[in-house]
Chain A
Amino acid sequence: MKKFAHDFKVVGNTRLNTRHFVLELQAPLPLPEILPGQFVQVLVHNSPSTFLRRPFSIHFVDYSTNTLRLLVQVKGEGTRHMGMLASGDLLNLVYPLGNSFSLPSSDKVLLIGGGAGVAPLMFMGDFLNRKNIRPDFLVGFRSADEVSQIDEYSKFGKVHLSTDDGSMGEKGFVTQHPVFNQAPLPYDRIYCCGPEAMMHAVSKLAAEKGVPCEVSLENYMACGYGVCLCCITQTDKGNERVCMEGPVFDTERLKWQSNG
Chain B
Amino acid sequence: MADLKINIAGMQFKNPVTTASGCFGYGEEFKDFYDLGLLGGIFVKAVTGSNREGNKYPRMAETPSGMLNSVGLQNKGVDNFCEVIYPRLKNFNTQIIVNVSGSTIEEYVKVAERINELEGIPAIELNISCPNVKEGGMAFGVVPSTATEVTRAVRDVYKKVLMVKLSPNVTSITEMAKAVVEGGADVLTLINTLLGMAINSETQRPVISTVTGGLSGPAIKPVALRMVWQVFKAVKVPIVGLGGIMNASDAIEFMLAGASVIQVGTANFINPMVAPKIVEGINEYLDRHNIPSARDIIGALKVC
Chain A hits for B71, CB < 8 A: 228-230
- Which residue of chain A has the shortest Cβ distance to B63 in the bound complex? A51
Let me know if B29 and A232 touch, CB within 8 A. no
B65 proximity list for chain A (CB < 8 A)? 48, 51
A227 CB-CB contact with B under 8 Å = yes
Q: Which residue of chain B has its CB nearest to the CB of A228?
A: B269
Question: A3, B58: Cβ atoms under 8 Å?
Answer: no
Q: Mark A35-63, 1 if CB is under 8 A from B, else 0.
A: 00000000100001111110000000000
Q: Are A260 and B269 in contact (CB under 8 A)?
A: no
A15 CB to nearest B CB, Å: 26
A94 close to B (CB within 8 Å):
yes
Question: If A5-B271, A52-B269, A260-B209 touch, does A228 touch B53 (CB 8 Å cutoff)?
Answer: no
The number of chain A residues touching the other chain, given as a range, is: 20 to 34
Which residues, 243 to 273 on B, are CB-close (under 8 Å) to A? 266, 268-273
A226 adjacent to B25 (CB under 8 Å): yes
Contacts A51-B65, A225-B29, A229-B74 known; A5 to B273 CB distance under 8 Å? Answer: yes
Nearest-neighbor residue (CB-CB) of A94 within chain B = B272
Say which residue of A48, A52, A229, A234 sits within 8 Å of B270 (CB atoms): A52
Instruction: Give the chain B neighbours of A131 by CB distance below 8 A.
Output: none
- Say if the beta carbon of B94 comes within 8 Å of chain A: no
Contacts known (A222-B67, A239-B53); A52 close to B32, Cβ less than 8 A:
no
Contacts of A233 in B (CB 8 A): 57
Chain B 44-75 per-residue mask, 1 if CB under 8 angstroms from chain A, else 0: 00000000011011111011111101010010
* B273 / chain A contacts, CB cutoff of 8 Å: 5
B60 touches A3 (CB 8 A): no
Chain A positions within 8 Å of B268 at CB level: 223, 227
A225 CA to B57 CA, complexed, in Å: 17
Q: Which of A225, A230, A257 contacts B60 (CB 8 A)?
A: A230
Q: Are B67 and A52 in contact (CB under 8 A)?
A: yes
Chain B, interface residues (CB within 8 Å), range: 20 to 34
Is A220's beta carbon under 8 Å from chain B? yes
A193 vs chain B, min Cβ distance (A): 19
Whether A222 contacts B74 by the Cβ 8 Å rule is no
Min CB–CB distance A91 → chain B (angstroms): 14
Contact call A259/B67, Cβ cutoff below 8 A = no
Q: How far is the CA of A222 from the CA of B53 in the complex (A)?
A: 19
What is the CA–CA distance of A19 and B24 in the complex, to the nearest angstrom?
Answer: 36
Q: Report A220-260 CB contacts with B as 1/0, cut-off 8 Å.
A: 11110111111111100011000000000000000001111
Q: What B residues does A260 contact at CB under 8 A?
A: 56-58, 209
Q: B74 near A232 (CB under 8 angstroms)?
A: yes
B217: chain A residues at CB < 8 Å are 51
Number of A-B contacts (CB under 8 A): 93
- Interface SS majority for chain A: loop
Taken together as a complex, chains A and B put the C-alpha atoms of A43 and B32 apart, in Å, by: 19
Which residue of B23, B57, B69, B272 is within 8 Å of A5 (Cβ)?
B272
Chain B hits for A222, CB < 8 A? 60, 67, 69, 266, 269
CB distance B66 to A51 under 8 Å? yes
Is there contact, CB below 8 Å, between A49 and B64?
yes
Q: How many Å from the CB of A119 to the closest CB on chain B?
A: 22
Interface centre among A1, A226, A257 (most CB of B within 10 A): A226
Chain B residues, CB < 8 A from A130 = none
Q: Which of B29, B67, B69 is in CB contact (< 8 Å) with A51?
A: B67
Interface membership of A75, Cβ < 8 A:
no
Distance from A255 Cβ to chain B, minimum over Cβ atoms (Å)? 11
B99 to chain A, nearest CB (A): 13
Q: Given contacts A52-B62, A221-B60, A232-B59, is CB(A239)–CB(B74) below 8 Å?
A: yes
Q: Which of B188-214 contact A (CB under 8 A)?
A: 209
**Is A220's CB under 8 angstroms from B60's CB?**
yes
Q: Would you give the shortest CB distance from B120 to chain A, in whole angstroms? A: 22
Closest to A258 in B: B57
Given the complex of chains A and B, what is the CA–CA distance between A67 and B24 in angstroms?
30
- The listed residue (B54, B59, B62, B269) touching A223 by CB distance below 8 A is B269
Q: How far is the CB of A75 from chain B (nearest CB, A)?
A: 13
- A234 to B270 Cα, complex, angstroms: 25
Asked if A43 contacts B59 (CB within 8 A), the reply is: no
Chain A residues with Cβ below 8 Å from B56 are 257, 260
Q: 8 A-B residue contacts at CB 8 Å?
A: A5-B272, A50-B62, A51-B65, A225-B29, A225-B32, A226-B29, A232-B74, A257-B57
Q: Which 4 A-B pairs have the closest CB atoms?
A: A230-B60, A223-B269, A227-B25, A3-B32
User: Can you add 7 more A-B contacts, CB < 8 Å, to A51-B67, A227-B24?
Assistant: A2-B32, A51-B64, A222-B67, A222-B69, A228-B71, A229-B22, A260-B58
On B, residues with C-beta under 8 Å from A are 22-25, 29-30, 32-33, 53-54, 56-60, 62-67, 69, 71, 74, 209, 217, 266, 268-273
